[in-house]
Amino acid sequence: MKVSFDDLHKAFESRVRLGIMSALAVNDSLDFSSLKEFLDVTDGNLSTHIKKLEQEGFVSVNKSFIDNKPNTRYSMTMEGKKAFDEHLGVLEQIINSQKES
Amino acid sequence: MKVSFDDLHKAFESRVRLGIMSALAVNDSLDFSSLKEFLDVTDGNLSTHIKKLEQEGFVSVNKSFIDNKPNTRYSMTMEGKKAFDEHLGVLEQIINSQKES
């Protein structure tokens, strides 16, 4: 077996970023507190990782107001979905290569 | 679905360390140059990551001489195997939770 570890995306090496992408893959959009609750991380930690995914172009941010209160929602971009799917595909190869042995 | 991202082991977040463990999981032992070739990384990069896995107690090092030449071989420890299997189990949950959606 030859798994292409290089195809694992560096942006998803972090557990928190893997978690953010997993959550956004199955929800059209999520707000900060939902993501925080889902991942059980601190505000600062989550902010840092969301910013990194934004910079990669994998997550988009939509700021609006609901009842005059600011509401920020995060979504996965098409580019993010493509990269994340590829990443999971390589992880699956790794898992399968272990099962064959 | 609720995947326990916390159960992903920090030691395996790095692609290179994931690769080292994958290779050692299917080979009783490997020498430095075999690992290097398998992963296509530099000497320095590989050394750093092996050291980290050694410190975690996940990889053991066996130094010997073959024809008066030093030969260093790396193996996965029982503890390493247990931790790696758990890690792959969580990754599998993540992949499956995406497929269900």
> ipTM for the complex?
0.79
Mean pLDDT value of segment B69-82 = 94
pLDDT on residue B6? 82
Partners of A30 in the beta sheet?
A74
Q: Is the pLDDT of residue A7 over 90?
A: no
List pLDDT tens digits, range A18-46. Answer: 999 999 999 999 999 999 998 989 999 99
The answer as to whether A2 is a domain residue is: no
Which domain covers residue B24, as residue numbers? 8-100
In a domain, B58, yes or no: yes
Give the separation between CA A30 and CA B2, rounded to whole angstroms. Answer: 16
Interface of A with B (CB under 8 A): 1, 3, 5-6, 8, 10, 13-16, 18-19, 22, 25-26, 39-40, 88, 91-92, 94-95, 97-98, 101
SS3 at position A66? strand
User: What local confidence, expressed as pLDDT, does residue A14 receive?
Assistant: 92
Contacts of range B45-51, beta carbons closer than 8 Å, 24 or more positions apart? B45/B16, B46/B16, B46/B20, B49/B14, B49/B16, B49/B17, B49/B20, B50/B20, B50/B74
Our CA dihedral for B93, B95, B100, B101, rounded to 10 degrees, sits at: 120
How many separate domains does chain A show?
1
Across chain B, the runs of DSSP E, i.e. the strands, are 30-31, 59-66, 69-76
* CB spacing of A5 vs B15 below 8 angstroms: yes
Q: Quote the mean pLDDT of chain A.
A: 91
A92 inside domain: yes
Token pair recorded at residue B71: 């030969």
Tens digit of each residue's pLDDT (9 = 90 or more) over B32-61: 999 999 898 999 999 999 999 999 999 999
- List the CATH number of the domain containing B62: 1.10.10.10
In a domain, B24, yes or no: yes
The reply to whether residue B101 touches residue A25, judged by beta carbons under 8 angstroms, is yes
pLDDT at B2: 66
Candidates A13, A18, A97; nearest CB to B5: A18
The answer to whether position A36 is within a domain reads: yes
Residue B2 is assigned to a structural domain of this protein? no
- Reported pTM: 0.85
pLDDT at A1 (0 to 100): 53
In-domain check, residue A62? yes
For residue A1, is it within any domain? no
